[in-house]
Amino acid sequence: MKTLIEGGTGSGSVNLEMPKDLPDLLEAGTPNAWGAAGLCEGIKFVMRTGIDEIAYIEHELVDHCATLLHDIKCVKYYYYTSSQAGVISMVFVNEEHDAEDIAAKLSEEGVAVRAGLQCAPVAHRTVGTLPYGTLRVSFSCFSTKSEVRTFARVLAEACCRGDKKRGG
């Protein structure tokens, strides 16, 4: 049997060639034992908690976020109540802001988001956000409503520069 990838074996590190004995012959690099263990625990968590419960928690957080975003004048967000996953994408009404700039400001405040096209150019073409993309925030069943409120507050401060929030 010929190898597809070679190098990085632990048993024959001094040699430039792959070992001739199995299983080392077919094991280039270090096996991802930590990744396999993490995947196993993740599957156990999902089985214990249940997909419906996880989806319910994520929907509650996204719904809470959409409610808060509604009150921020400088943000246009994309939210579909009937089939929303734990993600909301947004653009900024003020032309001087773009998703990358706002993401950098949020990062300075300890808020992690993703900006740009998020490997989904067809989706961005569909909603009209090409070529710049959006700012995307994601929530999981480990997120909290307090974290959602922090995100919304920091976002408003980063993009509205003192604009008053609608509705108070």
Query: Over the stretch 24-36, which tens digit does the pLDDT of each residue have?
Result: 877 777 778 999 9
Q: What are the structure tokens assigned to 40, written together?
A: 């196993």
Q: 121-130 long-range contacts, Cβ below 8 Å, gap at least 24?
A: 127/78, 127/89, 129/89, 129/91
Does residue 154 lie in a domain region?
yes
Does residue 19 lie in a domain region?
no
Q: Which residue has the tokens 């993600």?
A: 87
Total-model pTM: 0.76
**Cα Rg of the chain (Å, integer):** 22
Q: Which CATH number do you get for residue 82?
A: 3.90.1150.10
Q: How confident is the model at residue 161 (pLDDT cuts 50, 70, 90)?
A: low
Does residue 72 lie in a domain region?
yes
Does residue 80 lie in a domain region?
yes
Does residue 21 lie in a domain region?
no
In this predicted structure, the answer to whether residue 164 has a pLDDT above a threshold of 50 is no
In this predicted structure, the answer to whether residue 1 has a pLDDT above a threshold of 90 is no
Residue ranges making up the domain that contains 79: 51-160
Q: Which of 16-20, 115-119, 141-145 has the lowest mean pLDDT?
A: 16-20
Are the C-beta atoms of 97 and 75 separated by less than 8 Å? no
Does residue 117 lie in a domain region?
yes
Query: Over the stretch 44-72, which tens digit does the pLDDT of each residue have?
Result: 999 999 999 999 999 999 999 999 999 99
Whole-angstrom CA distances from 102 to 50, 112, 115, 148 are 35, 11, 8, 16
3-state secondary structure of 77: strand
User: Structural domain tally of the chain?
Assistant: 1
Question: What confidence score (pLDDT) does residue 163 get?
Answer: 46
Whole-angstrom CA distances from 119 to 51, 80, 104, 130 are 25, 20, 19, 12
Does residue 34 lie in a domain region?
no
Closest by CA to 148, choosing from 53, 83, 71, is 71
Residue-averaged pLDDT of the chain: 86
Does residue 56 lie in a domain region?
yes
Burial of 41 (0-12, 13-18, 19+ CB in 10 A): exposed
